[in-house]
């Protein structure tokens, strides 16, 4: 199957077909999600929390994200791979945004970039798309501005709905091919989806968006602790892996692993694997 392209997202919007997006930061999940029919993979700056162990997205750097972008691109055949510009790599102006976006495309090999903000980054979106690089916008709750927004909270409720609508239109008019709506009331997300010519990708934005995105460690239950309301957990990988690791520890401690079956004899035997 050929690679998904920006034009496929536009066609899907026109035809009212929904598509799924997930984050990925490594070879195995990238290949599995690609085979499962996930149209787009986001190498999110959420790697800060989910790969590097930071407690927010703010510390992660371009140099930390690029190797993950390369791994995901190398491991997919069909998915459209989006690289997420980290905090501090695009806010200074259109020139900085373009330079960072070029690094993601050249060194990361991804197919588009994403960065946070509406009206305030419209010039950046115009500059980057003007250089032939597709941009995915991201409005509503934007984790890189968590300190200014006063924490993880729903955006666009009540009077602030008009500001969210302005942001949505600014992103589309600046040339973005799609826009993430994070933690936005369902009715407002439906209105944005109806008004915008480009697809909306919801995360905590209800069922009316053109597409949905989740962080894979949340969706597959790898991350422990409280799960936010907008996440549906499709598996419990934390207990699968935790239970398996504990069984391994017990086996090694008791001496019940390895057995003869896992051990090389002096003379080769067909029962023994031919390579480690
Ligand atoms: O970095 C990320 O994972 C994201 C998605 C949640 C949209 O930006
Ligand atoms: Na992000």
> Per-residue pLDDT tens for 26-52?
999 999 999 999 999 999 999 999 999
Task: Give the residue, by CA position, lying nearest to ligand 1 atom 8.
Answer: 44
The residues spanned by each domain of the chain are 6-235, 237-276
Architecture of domain 6-235: Alpha-Beta Barrel (3.20)
Per-residue pLDDT at 153: 95
Centroid of ligand 2 to alpha carbon of 49 (angstroms): 11
How far apart CA 165 and CA 140 sit, in angstroms, is 10
Contact 60, 52 (CB under 8 A): yes
Centroid of ligand 2 to alpha carbon of 115 (angstroms): 7
Written in H, E and C, the secondary structure of 184-220 is CCHHHHHHHHHHCCCCEEEECCCCCCCEEEECHHHHC
DSSP code of 41? E
The finding on whether 86 has its CB within 6 A of some atom of ligand 1 is: no
Indicate which ligand has the atom closest to the C-alpha of 21.
1
How far apart CA 121 and CA 174 sit, in angstroms, is 9
| pLDDT bucket at 274, cuts 50 / 70 / 90 | low
Q: pLDDT tens digits for 173-230?
A: 999 999 999 999 999 999 999 999 999 999 999 999 999 999 999 999 999 888 899 9
Residue among 41, 136, 143 to mutate when testing ligand 1 (max atoms within 8 A of CB):
143
Which atom of ligand 1 lies at the shortest distance from residue 50's CA?
3
Report residues near ion ligand 2: CB below 5 Å: 44-45, 84
From the candidates 182, 187, 195, 254, give the one annotated as an active-site residue. 182
Average pLDDT, the chain: 96
Contact 122, 116 (CB under 8 A): no
CA 62 to mean position of chain CA atoms: 15
pLDDT > 70: what percent of the chain?
A: 97
Contact 57, 45 (CB under 8 A): yes
The two structure tokens encoding residue 214: 């989740």
Q: At 114, is the secondary structure helix, strand, or coil?
A: strand
Contact 82, 114 (CB under 8 A): yes
**Catalytic (active site) residue 182:** yes
Position 115 pLDDT exceeds 80: yes
Contact 70, 107 (CB under 8 A): yes
Residue 81: enclosing H or E segment and its boundaries? strand 80-84
């Amino acid at each position: 199957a050929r690679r998904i392209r920006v034009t496929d997202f536009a066609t899907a919007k026109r035809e009212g077909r929904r598509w799924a997006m997930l984050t990925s930061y490594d070879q195995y999940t990238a290949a599995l999600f690609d085979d499962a029919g996930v149209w787009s993979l986001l190498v999110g700056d959420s790697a800060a929390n989910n790969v590097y162990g930071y407690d927010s997205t703010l510390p992660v750097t371009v140099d930390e994200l690029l190797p993950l972008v390369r791994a995901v691109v190398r491991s997919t055949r069909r998915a459209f791979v989006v690289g997420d510009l980290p905090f501090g790599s695009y806010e200074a102006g259109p020139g900085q945004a373009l330079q960072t976006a070029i690094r993601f495309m050249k060194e990361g090999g991804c197919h588009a970039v994403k960065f946070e903000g509406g009206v305030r980054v419209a010039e950046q979106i115009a500059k980057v798309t003007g250089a032939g690089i597709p941009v995915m916008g991201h409005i509503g709750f934007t984790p890189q501005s968590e300190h200014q927004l006063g924490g993880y909270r729903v955006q666009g409720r009540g009077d602030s709905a008009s500001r969210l609508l302005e942001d949505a239109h600014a992103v589309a008019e600046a040339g973005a091919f799609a826009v993430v709506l994070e933690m936005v009331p369902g009715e407002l997300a439906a209105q944005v989806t109806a008004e915008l010519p480009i697809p909306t990708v919801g995360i905590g934005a209800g069922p009316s968006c053109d597409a949905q995105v989740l962080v894979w460690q949340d969706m597959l239950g790898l991350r422990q602790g409280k799960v936010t309301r907008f996440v549906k957990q499709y598996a419990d990988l934390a207990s699968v892996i935790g239970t398996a690791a504990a069984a391994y520890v017990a086996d090694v401690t008791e001496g019940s692993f390895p057995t003869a079956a896992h051990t090389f004899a002096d003379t080769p035997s067909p029962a023994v694997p031919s390579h480690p």
